[in-house]
Chain A
Amino acid sequence: MSTDLKPITGRASQRSRNAPAPTRRLPLKTRLVRSLPIYIGLAPFFVLLIVFVGAPMVYGLAMSFTDWSVSSRSTLHFVGLENYLYILSGEGLGSTRFLKSLLNLSVYVPITVAIGLGVSLGLALIVHNLPRRFQSFLRSGFFVPTAIPLFLCVGIWLWLMDSDNGLVASSLAKLGIGVDVNWVNTAGWAIALIIFIDIWHSVGFNFVIFSTGMQEISEDLYEAADLDGANVFQKMMRITIPMMEPIIFFVITYSLISALQVYDIPQILTSGSDPNSVGGPNQVMLFPVMEMVRNVRIGGEAALGRAAAEGVILMVIIIAVTFIMFKLRRKKV
């Protein structure tokens, strides 16, 4: 098909060479008018983006400085930094819960990102060295848990990790891990359970990114290394990993951002009829987004203002982490 098109390409480019000077040189006003259809084409997407992303963002930022609550839109008061001071003060239920959620987050994020990276990169390196016919087969299988919605993954693992007769929990107990432990309710184990489910679900995603990235690496490099007598391990460390550096950086950044938003797994594991029970006893698996949603559910004075402030704090954390990651990368390169 592409061969048929060649003459057309030639003719078109010749014509454009004879065409009037590029639009760039025209005055801005003319360019804007000429670009009108382009702006019309962009409008649907950008209108949605402004209405459903930009506006809520600005709205939330502004409302985090007010006593915004579910019922009091008519009597909104500017309260300055009060919401921020309250949730970070350590006094009162809303505050202790939020601080506990940040503490849990600081334990959960580094561990789940590190293990997730290790497992998916390890698997990708392994599969990269296996015969081609296994590669696509394994890749299809590894991605299945990622294709399954997270809420179903939670349901599956809730059953497998049931402390009474869950298949995996009882097998682990036989190995001496978590004997008589109720994984959902026990401090430490609860976070381990979330990490477990998160890894099972997300390894497939990172694996596909790593594995397709490795296929792009030129065979010539490996052949040259073979001539120099390099072994599998040396090729991994000297060729594969350095060539994968930008992709590894992307996966770490992306994993950090998504780990900071952790919500579905702990929320589903601990949801009950009482909003205050979310996060489990002693908030063993409470995370910031869950606390935001709890504020919306319980209502009360300034509840939405506090939820908005918590959203802003989480945003600052995410932006800071992304910024640090980009700084680190620039230093390395």
Chain B
Amino acid sequence: MRSRIAGKKRSRTGIILMAVLAFIWLLASLYPLWMIFSATFSADSTNMSTALVPDDFTNGWSKVVEAFTALNLGTTLRDTLIFTLIAIAGMALTSSLAAYEFTFFEFPGKKFLFAILMGSMMLPLVLYVVPLYRQVFNMGLADSYLGVALPLMVSPLSVFILMQFMEDLPRSFIEAAQVDGAGHFRIFFLIVVPMLRNGLITATVLLALSVWGAFLWPSLVTGQEVQALSVAIANMFNPNFYVDPRVRFAAMLIAMIPPLLVYILFQRHVIKGVAMSGVKG
């Protein structure tokens, strides 16, 4: 009896200790963001590193405005949004069609094509980024929205995620539609796509986060016509290029809003998608 109570006590202190550790990491995860926020919205006379609470919102707002005017952030945001949307649209159409064929049908060469799909998931962009850049350049697509978006919309991971969602759909729907004489693509667009809402959201949100954060590919392929947010922000860290630190932070805050908003709104989907990408193992 006594030992049981002692054991319970020990595990309770253990749990408290574990909770403390977890909350320390939570603080480490979130506090730097708060620091950027409070430093941006602080008076110019405040030491930014110790600005624990925002103390001058008008000054901060003027930095936000300056980030848009002086750094041309509006154009950069628009361009990034456009190529992100193109990539998402292309991924959604091509990946869901491919996932549909792989999930519901048997056909000659299925194993071979599926092996290619899985293999390509293991091949990161960096391995072929230089020839890819020359190829896109030779196709006349350098510094264009399509040129940025096309290679980013090829997403084997999305096919994989969409396949897992499709496997949960009742096959009887498709069989019944076939019996009724509905065509192959009619079934896809009228029956499968409407039921695939969660899968499409998951794949879209994951791709949106990764395209918004992409740096290497846009830094090679963008230039005058198309400007990528990641490249513009990274340029601000160049020591040869002076920017008021609060303006820089304001620009970073603005760049952070879309991905954070997407994460907050679609958290369940993001977490599910990440968990699914771990299922591969």
Query: Taking the complex as formed, is B242 at the interface, i.e. its CB lies under 8 A from any CB of chain A?
Result: no
24 A-B contacts (beta carbon < 8 Å):
A8-B173, A9-B170, A12-B179, A13-B175, A37-B185, A42-B102, A44-B98, A45-B97, A49-B154, A52-B135, A59-B134, A60-B131, A129-B14, A141-B26, A142-B25, A144-B29, A148-B33, A148-B256, A149-B230, A154-B234, A263-B216, A271-B238, A311-B127, A314-B126
Query: Taking the complex as formed, is A232 at the interface, i.e. its CB lies under 8 A from any CB of chain B?
Result: yes
Determine the chain A residues whose CB is within 8 A of the CB of B151 once the complex forms.
52-53
Q: How large is the interface on B (under 10, 10 to 19, 20 to 34, 35 or more residues)?
A: 35 or more
By beta carbon, the residue of chain B nearest A19 is B179
Query: Taking the complex as formed, is B159 at the interface, i.e. its CB lies under 8 A from any CB of chain A?
Result: yes
By beta carbon, the residue of chain B nearest A204 is B29
Query: Taking the complex as formed, is A187 at the interface, i.e. its CB lies under 8 A from any CB of chain B?
Result: no
Q: How large is the interface on A (under 10, 10 to 19, 20 to 34, 35 or more residues)?
A: 35 or more
Determine the chain A residues whose CB is within 8 A of the CB of B245 once the complex forms.
159
Determine the chain A residues whose CB is within 8 A of the CB of B267 once the complex forms.
140, 143
Write out, one digit per residue, whether chain B residues 85-101 have a CB within 8 A of any chain A CB (1) or not (0): 00000100111011011
* Known pairs A23-B106, A59-B135 / 10 extra A-B pairs, C-beta < 8 Å: A45-B95, A52-B135, A56-B128, A149-B215, A213-B275, A231-B7, A261-B124, A273-B238, A293-B220, A311-B128
Q: Which stretch, B16-24, B57-65, B67-75, B196-204, touches the partner chain A? A: B16-24
Query: Taking the complex as formed, is A298 at the interface, i.e. its CB lies under 8 A from any CB of chain B?
Result: no
Determine the chain B residues whose CB is within 8 A of the CB of A257 once the complex forms.
122, 124
Interface positions of A from 191 to 237, Cβ below 8 Å from B: 200, 203-205, 208-209, 212-213, 231-232
With contacts A37-B184, A155-B248, A268-B237 taken as known, whether A126 is within 8 angstroms of B130 at the C-beta atoms is no
Query: Taking the complex as formed, is A330 at the interface, i.e. its CB lies under 8 A from any CB of chain B?
Result: no
A308 & B130 in contact (Cβ 8 Å cutoff) = yes
B209 to chain A, nearest CB (A): 6
Please tell me which one of the listed residues B49, B107, B212, B220 contacts residue A167 in the complex, with CB atoms under 8 A apart. B49
Of B117, B154, B249, chain A has the most CB atoms within 10 Å of the CB of B154
Query: Taking the complex as formed, is B1 at the interface, i.e. its CB lies under 8 A from any CB of chain A?
Result: no
Query: Taking the complex as formed, is B142 at the interface, i.e. its CB lies under 8 A from any CB of chain A?
Result: no
B41 to chain A, nearest CB (A): 15
B126 & A289 in contact (Cβ 8 Å cutoff) = yes
Please tell me which one of the listed residues A23, A127, A203, A314 contacts residue B22 in the complex, with CB atoms under 8 A apart. A127
Query: Taking the complex as formed, is A179 at the interface, i.e. its CB lies under 8 A from any CB of chain B?
Result: no
Determine the chain B residues whose CB is within 8 A of the CB of A117 once the complex forms.
none
B127 & A314 in contact (Cβ 8 Å cutoff) = yes
Interface positions of A from 233 to 253, Cβ below 8 Å from B: 246-247, 249-251, 253
Interface positions of A from 141 to 199, Cβ below 8 Å from B: 141-145, 147-152, 154-160, 165-167, 170
**How far does the alpha carbon of A213 sit from the alpha carbon of B11 in the complex, in Å?**
23
A45 & B159 in contact (Cβ 8 Å cutoff) = yes
Listed from nearest, the 7 A-B pairs whose CB atoms lie closest are A250-B281, A149-B213, A209-B278, A60-B131, A147-B263, A37-B184, A212-B275
Query: Taking the complex as formed, is A31 at the interface, i.e. its CB lies under 8 A from any CB of chain B?
Result: yes
A129 & B126 in contact (Cβ 8 Å cutoff) = no
By beta carbon, the residue of chain B nearest A57 is B128
Query: Taking the complex as formed, is B2 at the interface, i.e. its CB lies under 8 A from any CB of chain A?
Result: no
Write out, one digit per residue, whether chain B residues 106-122 have a CB within 8 A of any chain A CB (1) or not (0): 11100001001100101
With contacts A126-B18, A149-B230, A213-B278 taken as known, whether A143 is within 8 angstroms of B107 at the C-beta atoms is no
A5 & B124 in contact (Cβ 8 Å cutoff) = no
Determine the chain B residues whose CB is within 8 A of the CB of A53 once the complex forms.
120, 123, 128, 151, 154
B207 to chain A, nearest CB (A): 13
With contacts A60-B128, A257-B122 taken as known, whether A35 is within 8 angstroms of B234 at the C-beta atoms is no
